[in-house]
């Protein structure tokens, strides 16, 4: 291994050991950060022997808020030319972090070329996680305060709908949200649909999607309820109405399975497949416009 690469490797080892001292390697707790390192012992051996092979140090960073924000681990690989002539290669592993700090990390790495920058990069990621977790918890608190008012609103709307009942019309809605993460909102999406006898499914994470079908009056109530929550963005992207003919019932017009299903952040393909199998592919496509 050339002198420059050995110097790089020595700087990498010193930097990673400093990070371990700061953040620790113990089991991560709420609000905490954990760094798992692979290749460090190999790198130390290369430095001790002056060996010819190249070392490859990689880091896996995990967070105590991972479940709250639907995060996977952040992976960082240190190229042999880092820090003198290359930047760390960072895989953020989630749309949330890519959106929140991806551009900032690129700028930080470019500005720091020739110098160590792992601590700065990690601090940017940690700040994004802390900010996101704070926002989700604020959403939860707001939702608790609104819950009783929304229950009264639902009861009033149901009574109003019963008084106005005329012909049978099946309604469908495809909704788009910037994200669905807070447990209170996930519960509201599911429980209100079930209370209103709407079938459908949701996809949580970034973005959040909701598709429901059932009595058109109940679809209207459902959307009205959801819009009363505090969202960064929540819009109806597509809707359909089907009027029942002679001998047809609301249930005979349904295409989606009974009940309600929640798909995870990485299960967009299952959400899309459910709608496609029900013959609602065009409705699904409205969510992407």
Model confidence pLDDT, tens digit, residues 221-261: 999 889 888 888 999 999 999 999 888 899 999 999 889 99
Look-up of token digits 């012909």: 167
Tell me phi and psi for residue 268, to 5 degrees: -55, -35
- Is residue 93 within 8 Å of 73, Cβ to Cβ? yes
Q: How much of the chain, in percent, has pLDDT values that exceed 90?
A: 46
Q: What CATH class does 166-288 carry?
A: alpha beta
- Is residue 174 within 8 Å of 209, Cβ to Cβ? yes
Q: What CA–CA distances, in Å, run from 142 to 74, 133, 148, 149, 208?
A: 30, 14, 12, 12, 19
Ranges of beta strands (E only) in the chain are 33-38, 57-63, 74-78, 89-91, 169-177, 199-203, 208-215, 234-243, 260-263
Return the DSSP state at 288.
G
How high is the pLDDT of residue 30? 47
pLDDT band at 49 (very low <50, low <70, confident <90, very high): low
- pLDDT mean over 141-149: 70
How high is the pLDDT of residue 209? 97
Exposed, middle or buried, 265 (CB in 10 Å: 0-12/13-18/19+)? buried
How high is the pLDDT of residue 40? 80
From its phi and psi, is residue 36 left (phi > 0), alpha (psi between -120 and 50) or beta? beta
Question: ∠ CA 28-65-14 to the nearest 5 degrees?
Answer: 50
CATH topology assigned to domain 3-133: Ubiquitin Conjugating Enzyme (3.10.110)
pTM of the shown model:
0.62
How high is the pLDDT of residue 139? 79
How high is the pLDDT of residue 56? 78
How far is it, in rounded angstroms, from Cα 161 to Cα 222? 12
Tens-place pLDDT, residues 83-100: 999 999 999 988 889 989
183-195 vs 216-227: helix axis angle to the nearest 10? Answer: 160
Strand, coil or helix: 24: coil
How high is the pLDDT of residue 69? 84
- pLDDT mean over 163-191: 87
Strand, coil or helix: 154: helix
Using the predicted structure, report yes or no on whether residue 26 has a pLDDT greater than 70.
no
How far is it, in rounded angstroms, from Cα 63 to Cα 61? 7
Tens-place pLDDT, residues 187-231: 999 999 999 999 999 999 989 999 999 999 999 999 988 988 888
Q: Where are the domains of the chain?
A: 3-133, 166-288
How far is it, in rounded angstroms, from Cα 105 to Cα 120? 9
């Amino acid at each position: 291994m050339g002198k420059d690469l050995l110097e790089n490797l020595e700087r990498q080892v010193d930097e990673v050991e400093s990070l371990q001292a700061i953040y620790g390697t113990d089991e991560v707790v709420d609000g905490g950060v954990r760094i798992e390192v692979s290749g460090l012992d190999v790198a130390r051996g290369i430095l001790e022997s002056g060996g010819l092979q190249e070392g490859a140090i990689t880091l896996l960073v995990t967070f105590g808020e991972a479940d709250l924000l639907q995060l996977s681990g952040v992976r960082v690989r240190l190229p042999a030319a880092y820090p003198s002539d290359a930047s760390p290669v960072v895989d953020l592993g989630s749309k949330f972090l890519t959106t929140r700090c991806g551009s900032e990390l690129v700028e930080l790495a470019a500005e720091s070329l020739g110098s160590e920058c792992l601590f700065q990069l990690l601090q940017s990621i940690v700040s994004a996680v802390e900010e996101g977790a704070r926002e989700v918890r604020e959403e939860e608190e707001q939702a608790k305060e609104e819950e009783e008012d929304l229950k009264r609103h639902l009861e009033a709307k149901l009574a109003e709908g019963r008084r106005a009942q005329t012909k049978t019309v099946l309604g469908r809605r495809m909704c788009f949200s910037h994200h669905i993460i807070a447990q209170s909102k996930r519960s509201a999406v599911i429980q209100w649909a079930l209370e209103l006898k709407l079938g459908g499914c949701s996809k949580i994470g970034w973005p959040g999607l909701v598709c429901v079908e059932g009595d058109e009056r109940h679809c209207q109530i459902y959307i009205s309820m959801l819009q009363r929550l505090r969202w960064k963005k929540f819009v109806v992207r597509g809707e359909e109405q089907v009027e029942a003919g002679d001998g047809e019932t609301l249930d005979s017009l349904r295409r989606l399975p009974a009940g309600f299903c929640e798909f995870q952040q990485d299960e967009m393909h299952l959400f899309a497949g459910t709608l496609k199998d029900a013959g609602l592919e065009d409705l699904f496509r409205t969510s992407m416009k």
